[in-house]
Structure 1
């Protein structure tokens, strides 16, 4: 058989392919048909060669194979198409359909695998993130400075807690997870917890302050925030913060704020532009401005005009540099009155050192300055008093000689002697000079009031004697002083000072245009029918002293302040503002009342009311007593002024005493020591060189303790006779009658 035949059909499969083909059921019919056709064509080929051998030889070599192939093709192709190719095509189409279905199924499976893989990968990532978040939450929870606890809302048991909660309460986490809320909250019990949990369930969150109790039993304050959370199940998240330090700070701030609010000093805070942002109540009290009126204003609302622009420029420049300014200033209240302040103004800095505000602490020193001025005035008056006392001492010694020798001379001549009348005038002039010196001492002396029953008309007349000599001619002086039936318990010196001050002020008000100064004294009776609108007087008899003038008068604002210490309308004349305040104090000290009425251009009237005492007798020292005489008693007279000593000796000799004179304390001691028993009485001066009268008395008492002593002084009645243990104090110049009474009283046995 020609291999061409088989080549036309295609090469047969090798053994392996044949075996595989035979094993495929769909290929078995085609393979059988192929074998039958191949055998049939082989038989036809040999039949053609046998029938046409000649023709076969005529054909070129290979033609037979070509013919054979053509015949085979024509014969086999339809069969191959019908029996082989078409089934094969159907099988191929079925296989492709199957393969397409398989590919679709594979693609679906692959997509599902990819989806499942992605979902699994996402789930794994989410779980990893959840684990990381849980780890982060636990880390943050444990590192929180607040105590955090997760609580079961139904049982109140702690489900979880951070380290701060454990540390704050003193429990381990294991111990704390066995506790319930009311185990460490002393303010909550089971019923209270149930109520709060229900309220929290409705509101969702809640903040409050409470207490926590540690494991050791101690408690501490907390601020707790509670939240109701639902995550599959319900939880209460508690975030508690220890507020011990905050409460301590708040308490300190409250104390500081309270101290600032109650401080007597003015405290003002301004911003860097000078606008007031805070004032304390002391500011309101001192300045008269309310806080609402002051805040937002500049401190210049207090500017008085007493300080110039340079003063405030220096102040502002100092504090603007961040330095502290200290100093005094005069400020003006809302009502226009002035006051003195001692101020310290400091810058307030923030944490970076920048000035953000200014704080001024100011103290009202008006009263302090007034007291200092009063002290200076007191020291000035003390100096004046000392000067006056020194002058009075020397002047009284001169007057003592003049007056004493005049009285001695008058005793040695007849009353109708022409020289007697001349000596009487000398005596009167000397007495006026004595009274004048006494007034000077009274005016300058600052002593406590010694209240005795006195006659006001006598005191007023003494003042008027002094005033008449000092008033200018343009002022007309009128007096209407009525003797009263009753006395007043008063200090003569202070009443003298009151009337003198009022009259001096009245004269000052009329110093330019003149006018009328009138002084009057009368008694009034106050009963239940007397109008009490303007007077605060009890029922009874009162002495009314009135001092009026027709000067320029005063407005109501001035009248309301004239009794204030250091308030004066005499700034240009050097007024101290102490006169009327002293007058007011003296009147009140005497149980009296003083009133004033004045209008501008209408003059001023002062009324002083002092209570009269019924049935009282005048102080015995003012009574006239006939001069008693002596019986030859021996008297030692000691005075460094020889004329005074000799004058005193002459008076005593006229009175019937035996007198020894010494002009030195040392000489007196020597004389006394030589024969202590020879003297019945010693009269000594207070102020002497080498030894004072006080020292002399002490030395004489060491020699003879029972010696009787009288002391004479020209300094006024400021010597305490009890401290000296003397029988009496004699004020120079000593009159004849006064000396006679004092010596006789001292020598009486009952007085020793």
Structure 2
């Protein structure tokens, strides 16, 4: 086939004749016409087609006088070849009819041999035609290539192009427009109506308004809208167009434009916006710093953390952390970690303007580009001051719980020992005359036993598991009792001031326990001033705890009373303050305190659904705030206490597995005038009761005994005789309390050890109150 890739510098000429003798002459004629021929000869028409394939001539010359064939037969045999390669017939002579027939059969021209100049003219003309045709082919190829590149570029860039004739409302779309709109090019004809149908219904009015502005003379438009495809998917499109100018400066009435599919960009922008909103609203402080550590972005939480505006933060570096408790080496180590491309995590201590300290937990992460170079740093941090405070409180609570478990393990045995010690000491005292040295010694033993009992009682507060039963108590009288007690025991160099308040403030609780907690707080304050003296201030304030304060101090929101105990003593440093409520922690000299005053106070207040907070400054003193839920109701009755009566004549069944306790109880009760059957085995006690159930006026039984517990024994006795007065005693028990005992029908629940007076008081109260189930919980003996 002919070469169409170059402009013809020479002509490839294929000459079909019976002899090669004419080839030089033809070549010479062409040269005279400034044609440089490249000649090839074929003498057999049957080889013509193959030779055309092999030689790719620009022109084929046929000698009409060749024996065996003529131009007409060759043209008819060539068929479709004449459309791609021009054929010229060379003849000795031709009639007009023959010439017409040759042209009809595909010849491009014909010449006669006796006019050789005519051949050069015909070939030159064909050369120009071939060159023009080849130039047209190259132009068409370039156009097709350009269109293909444009279509491919539009597909890659997701940009469709369009034309709009404003006069006829006709549209022309590129292939990419159909893809963007999800329409079939074969079935959809672009039109304004079809375009509007494809636009999302919520965006149509906006697009129509832009179209109307163009019709009214606006030379261009730019609009972002959504396209709803036939398959139900939505695409975001940015459309731009402008009116083409015409000659004379007037509008041509035609508009061209593009439609850019920005769906992925829109989704990325929306995701970025959501991400930035999430970062902006995050509770954690977030900042981004450049390669040199200068802040380029910060969220609101970060600004709050460093107490600066966003404008003040941007561009700042390490100076944001001025006032920390860390030296230059600390920050240099952080920077070295980041320079190595590693993540740094740690805690930074910041000194606040109000002389408080904040603990900041921070993580700094290097941000790297595609080549692995560090370009930014992301800082995420949060104030963990309150969290660490809660963790310290949790550790303190765990230590307290551990102490409670330990106390529960030893309390029963220790209380049994104290019971025998106190009981026999009281028996021995009755046998000694006043003024005797032995009696004085025995009184000291009794005092030591009572101190031991009080110590165990305070320790057991930590191990209490049951829910207490409380009643309404006015806090004023409780505080007045506390003031009476401390005024009589505090040294004279400590001045006591108080503002109890005139209003009646009620709480739900145990007045004895509340008094104990407040005495402990006051005693702790006194001990801080005992050497140099000072002033103790006690104030009471009723107010409502809001959600913020409730969360901070760990109580429920609502009405509270705050009892503040302030001293002017030495104050506490941070380390001492952290351990102030730890059991057995004390700053006093050895033998001057057990370290249980504040822990017991906190345990009592917490058991009343309150808490204690402390503020302290070295050299200025400390203030303890006890928070208790405030009750708005008035008390229906003042608390009353049973009267102790020592004379008696009833018969008592006493049961305890400790023989020394049984022996002590028998002597004590007999001295009080009671008849006593005392046994160490609950089954033996049951035998006595079965033989004579009406013989016993009251049964006193220990709770924890081998074979049968006190509550199990009580159930059997009450099933045999429901009106049996029963007193349950225990050194320690997690399985029974006063409320549960009363619900079972047990009339009194008391903790060992008891003094003789307390035992006598309990017995008389039980015998006098058959209606014990209706009595106030605080009137129910539970020594």
TM band (smaller chain): 0.5 to 0.7
Q: 2:759 aligns with which of 735, 739, 749?
A: 739
1:408-444 CA-partner distances (Å, limit 9, x unpaired) = 567789xxx7479996996698468636743663477
Is 1:281 aligned to residue 296 of structure 2? Answer: no
Find the aligned partners of 1:223 and 1:478 in 2 and give their Cα distance.
Answer: 81
2:173 is aligned to 161
Is 1:268 aligned to residue 287 of structure 2? Answer: yes
Maintained 8 Å contact 1:153/1:197: no
TM-score for the superposition, normalised by structure 2:
0.60
TM-score for the superposition, normalised by structure 1:
0.63
Q: CA deviation at 1:155?
A: 3.6
Q: CA deviation at 1:743?
A: 3.2
Q: CA deviation at 1:577?
A: 7.9
1:226 is aligned to 241
Maintained 8 Å contact 2:702/2:729: yes
Maintained 8 Å contact 2:241/2:256: yes
SS at 1:306 equivalent: coil
1:661 is aligned to 678
Maintained 8 Å contact 1:331/1:338: yes
Maintained 8 Å contact 1:382/1:444: no
SS at 2:654 equivalent: strand
Choose between structure 1 and 2: higher helix proportion.
1
Maintained 8 Å contact 2:482/2:515: no
Maintained 8 Å contact 1:161/1:176: no
The CA RMSD over aligned residues, in Å, is: 5.4
Change (3 A) 1:705 1:227: farther
Find the aligned partners of 1:347 and 1:190 in 2 and give their Cα distance.
Answer: 48
Find the aligned partners of 2:714 and 2:436 in 1 and give their Cα distance.
Answer: 39
1:643-664 CA-partner distances (Å, limit 9, x unpaired) = 332222233334554433334x
2:276 is aligned to 257
2:360 is aligned to 341
Is 1:644 aligned to residue 661 of structure 2? Answer: yes
1:321 is aligned to 340
1:142 is aligned to 151
Q: CA deviation at 1:468?
A: 7.6
Q: CA deviation at 1:173?
A: 3.3
Q: CA deviation at 1:139?
A: 2.8
Is 1:441 aligned to residue 457 of structure 2? Answer: yes
Which runs of 5 or more structure 2 residues have no equivalent in the other structure?
1-128, 543-559, 583-596, 774-783
SS at 1:238 equivalent: strand
1:702-744 CA-partner distances (Å, limit 9, x unpaired) = 9999875422234599951333433321133323343334335
Using the TM superposition, name which of 316-325 and 481-490 deviates more.
481-490
Which runs of 5 or more structure 1 residues have no equivalent in the other structure?
1-119, 525-541, 554-567
Find the aligned partners of 2:428 and 2:181 in 1 and give their Cα distance.
Answer: 112
Alignment of 1:403-552 (within 5 A): 403-405=422-424, 418=434, 430=446, 434=450, 437-438=453-454, 441-442=457-458, 445-446=461-462, 450-453=470-473, 475-476=493-494, 489=507, 490-492=509-511, 493-505=513-525, 507-508=527-528, 510=529, 514-518=532-536, 549-551=567-569
Find the aligned partners of 1:486 and 1:190 in 2 and give their Cα distance.
Answer: 71
Alignment of 1:320-399 (within 5 A): 320-333=339-352, 337-385=356-404, 396-399=415-418
Change (3 A) 1:644 1:485: farther
Alignment of 1:123-272 (within 5 A): 135=144, 138-143=147-152, 144=154, 145-158=158-171, 160-180=172-192, 181-186=195-200, 193=208, 196-199=211-214, 202-215=217-230, 219-230=234-245, 233-272=252-291
Find the aligned partners of 2:362 and 2:263 in 1 and give their Cα distance.
Answer: 37
Change (3 A) 1:517 1:213: closer
Find the aligned partners of 2:331 and 2:280 in 1 and give their Cα distance.
Answer: 27
1:229-284 CA-partner distances (Å, limit 9, x unpaired) = 23674322231122222222222212211221121112222222222222222212
Find the aligned partners of 2:726 and 2:364 in 1 and give their Cα distance.
Answer: 66
Is 1:712 aligned to residue 729 of structure 2? Answer: yes
SS at 1:314 equivalent: helix
Using the TM superposition, name which of 458-467 and 276-285 deviates more.
458-467
Maintained 8 Å contact 1:147/1:241: yes
Find the aligned partners of 2:369 and 2:562 in 1 and give their Cα distance.
Answer: 68
Q: CA deviation at 1:297?
A: 1.6
Q: CA deviation at 1:209?
A: 0.7
Change (3 A) 1:336 1:253: farther
1:90 is aligned to none
SS at 2:240 equivalent: strand
Maintained 8 Å contact 2:654/2:662: no
Change (3 A) 1:148 1:544: closer
Find the aligned partners of 2:214 and 2:325 in 1 and give their Cα distance.
Answer: 67
Change (3 A) 1:707 1:331: same
1:179-207 CA-partner distances (Å, limit 9, x unpaired) = 22434335587997486354377443321
Find the aligned partners of 1:254 and 1:591 in 2 and give their Cα distance.
Answer: 46
SS at 2:575 equivalent: coil
Find the aligned partners of 2:160 and 2:418 in 1 and give their Cα distance.
Answer: 100
Change (3 A) 1:192 1:714: closer
Find the aligned partners of 1:283 and 1:457 in 2 and give their Cα distance.
Answer: 50
Change (3 A) 1:121 1:227: farther
Maintained 8 Å contact 1:638/1:684: yes
SS at 1:445 equivalent: helix
Maintained 8 Å contact 1:452/1:619: no
Change (3 A) 1:576 1:329: farther
Change (3 A) 1:441 1:488: farther
Find the aligned partners of 1:484 and 1:203 in 2 and give their Cα distance.
Answer: 83
